[in-house]
Chain A
Amino acid sequence: SAVISQKPSRDICQRGTSLTIQCQVDSQVTMMFWYRQQPGQSLTLIATANQGSEATYESGFVIDKFPISRPNLTFSTLTVSNMSPEDSSIYLCSETTGRTEAFFGQGTRLTVV
């Protein structure tokens, strides 16, 4: 099973600033995913991060707001840009090969004040 280290585990940020979240996987994986879990809600896929190509964003999410990097097969970052209180959520990264179970990082609890 894959182990995903995600950091920071939590942060409190001022509105208008940006936060970069990092995910490190202990093995090489083709695809990584970033999810948002708003308070009391389910997980919503933000984007799929492929190594060597641009991330693929889901409807309602744009690269300017959530730029993603995937410099190699074990690492990815998600930046939450120009934050507002509505961005307060838990952000999770995961890796999966689809037919096998997805493994998740511990999540980043973001509070924007």
Chain B
Amino acid sequence: AQSVAQPEDQVNVAEGNPLTVKCTYSVSGNPYLFWYVQYPNRGLQFLLKYITGDNLVKGSYGFEAEFNKSQTSFHLKKPSALVSDSALYFCAVGTSYNTDKLIFGTGTRLQVFP
């Protein structure tokens, strides 16, 4: 069965410092991996995706993520955090066998302090 784990409920980082939000996955086929961000009282906004190709994926707002097949991870990163990055981040996975369904992680709240 597909599953996604986000081991950290919250990540705190100072503005200007690099940030990492962790995600690991378990699927039976080739994974399709996504990161979404949710700001307060807003829907989910797409950040980036990995379908195939380069393991380092660049997305919106300066975020990037690295697909690591051996570690089954897809961690979200940003070189320099902004206070405005503070939000709830979700990792999600689909598989080549059921590409239309997404399984979401439990979410990680990112807090960037000035």
A102 within 8 A of B: yes
Given contacts A48-B100, A107-B42, contact A102 B105 (CB under 8 A): no
- Shortest Cβ gap from B37 to chain A (Å): 11
CA–CA, A31 and B94, complex, Å: 15
Cβ of B100 and Cβ of A43 under 8 Å apart? Answer: no
Given contacts A42-B106, A98-B94, A99-B51, contact A107 B43 (CB under 8 A): yes
Q: Which of B90, B98, B99 contacts A43 (CB 8 A)?
A: B90
- Shortest Cβ gap from B26 to chain A (Å): 15
B87 within 8 A of A: no
A45 within 8 A of B: yes
How many A residues face the partner with a CB closer than 8 A? Answer: 25
Cβ of A106 and Cβ of B102 under 8 Å apart? Answer: no
Cβ of A92 and Cβ of B43 under 8 Å apart? Answer: yes
Q: Which of A99, A101, A105 contacts B43 (CB 8 A)?
A: A105
A28 within 8 A of B: no
Main secondary structure on B side of the interface with A: strand
- Shortest Cβ gap from B98 to chain A (Å): 8
Given contacts A104-B43, A106-B43, A107-B43, contact A45 B106 (CB under 8 A): no
In the bound complex, residues from chain A placing their C-beta under 8 Å from that of B44 are 43, 92, 94, 102, 104
In the bound complex, residues from chain A placing their C-beta under 8 Å from that of B90 are 42-43
A41 within 8 A of B: yes
Given contacts A43-B104, A106-B43, A107-B43, contact A99 B34 (CB under 8 A): no
A103 within 8 A of B: yes
Contact string against A for B residues 34-77, beta-carbon threshold 8 Å, 1 for contact and 0 otherwise: 10100001111110010100000000000000000000000000
In the bound complex, residues from chain B placing their C-beta under 8 Å from that of A92 are 43-44
B residues engaging A (CB < 8 A)? 32, 34, 36, 41-46, 49, 51, 90, 92, 94, 98-107
